[in-house]
Amino acid sequence: MSKVKILIVEDESIIALNLKESLQDLGYEPCGIAPNKCKTMKILEKGIVPDLILMDIYLKGPTTGIELA
């Protein structure tokens, strides 16, 4: 059985790395970290299909996490 793939969308790098490590410890597969809409879309355009996205509500830039979701 394959691991659940989770994309992390978080603009604070320390928080994003902490989430990544915690998810790995719990047996999940973080499939990427994106700090904003542009990076998130680039990851998804590469054909990476996460099972779940952990989305920060307040992202730096014009697009919020709610709008992006």
Q: What is the pLDDT of residues 6-64, one digit of tens each?
A: 999 999 999 999 999 999 999 999 999 999 999 999 999 999 999 999 999 999 889 99
One-letter identity of residue 8: I
Residue 35: predicted pLDDT: 97
Residue 61: predicted pLDDT: 87
DSSP letter for each residue of 1-67: -PPPEEEEE-S-HHHHHHHHHHHHHTT-EEEEEESSHHHHHHHHHTT---SEEEE-SS-SSS--HHH
Banded model confidence at residue 2, pLDDT cuts 50, 70, 90: confident
pTM for the complete prediction?
0.93
